[in-house]
Amino acid sequence: MDRRLGVIAFSSEQAKRLQRMLYDRFDKRVLELLDLRVGVAWSFQGAQRDLVYLSTVHSPPPNGSTLRRSTNAQMLGRQLNVAMSRARRQVRVFHSVRPGAFATDDVRRPLFEHVIRSDREWDARQAPGVPALVSESERDSRFDSLSEQRLFNDLALRGFAVQEQVAAPVGGHTYRLDFVIHGPLGRVAVEYDGPHHDSVAQYLNDREREQDLIRCGWTVLRVHHGVFTLRRTNAVDNLERQLRATCTSCRSLNGTATPTRMRESKAPAPLRTTIWRRCGR
């Protein structure tokens, strides 16, 4: 049999719950055919499966804060190593929080970042309108700051066909927009307001510029550097909600419609695998 399945969780309680759900859903013949095995990482030592579903589901941190680092990071790292090496062909990671919710020295964070980046790059090949990610630690000349590069990545990771540094002719002016996302209900400009936007003179200039853009059919959304720096996930969540409300589907950079696509999953909402959100989902 070349389709043996394994389901791995990091806690015995979650593993037991998943096992009950699966055994209730599938009949005995299917379970035997798939040679299904459910348990924690240690129970898979010496055993492999063709396909492994790895559940890293965790309660979300309150108010966008960072999850507390595991008290036994070394043991968690060993569990992760065992879990990721049990699959002969493929590992599918289920998660309920984003990588940024974990502390920078938490071993789960680089795992999520790698999985999401790999899946996003695959998705980008299927939907060319979604751009490739950029570095978050080295300056890219196309952007004004590292913070803009991080916001660009956040939008791309959520499936938006985002274009950086767009020249927008407005009357006798040409404004340079930090980011643009095209939707059937209008063009959406996303502006990142860095520290220099805090001055009164710049604030008044930004408002005048924004009114010019609105008169020419643009929708303008803003992200303040203070909110983005302190609560990045919350800031991007709020931006995504506004983008969803503004357009019903995203367009790729060449102007053709980008269809809404998602990974098929029958699991309850907290157990869904990575879904690339597109405007209007």
What does the pLDDT profile of the chain (281 residues) look like in tens digits?
Answer: 456 889 998 888 999 999 999 999 888 888 888 888 999 988 888 888 888 888 888 776 666 566 665 656 778 788 888 888 888 877 888 877 777 777 777 777 887 777 777 665 554 444 445 677 888 889 999 999 999 999 999 988 887 888 899 888 877 778 999 999 865 445 689 999 999 998 999 999 999 899 888 877 788 999 999 999 999 999 999 998 888 776 544 443 333 333 233 233 333 333 333 322 222 22
SS3 103: coil
Q: How far apart are CA 224 and CA 220, in angstroms?
A: 13
Give the residue from 34, 129, 49 showing the smallest Cα distance to 87. 49
Q: Which residues contact 17 (CB under 8 A, 6 or more apart)?
A: none
Give the distance from CA 158 to its chain's centroid.
5
| pLDDT of amino acid 187 | 67
In sign, the C-alpha dihedral spanning 130, 64, 234, 241 is positive
| pLDDT of amino acid 247 | 58
| pLDDT of amino acid 188 | 87
Strand partners, 175: 168
**Model pTM?**
0.46
CB 133 within 8 A of CB 157: yes
Strand partners, 49: 87
| Lateral strand order in the sheet of 37-40 | 37-40, 5-9, 49-55, 87-94
φ, ψ of residue 260 to 5 degrees: the values are -70, 125
Domains of the chain: 5-126 (3.40.50.300), 146-246 (3.40.1350.10)
| pLDDT of amino acid 65 | 61
Tokens encoding 69: 């680092």
| Lateral strand order in the sheet of 218-224 | 163-170, 173-183, 186-193, 218-224
Tokens encoding 11: 């806690």
Give the residue from 5, 113, 104 showing the smallest Cα distance to 56. 113
DSSP letter string, 141-182: TTSSSHHHHHHHHHHHHTT---EEEEEEEETTEEEEEEEEEE
Name residue 49's amino acid.
R
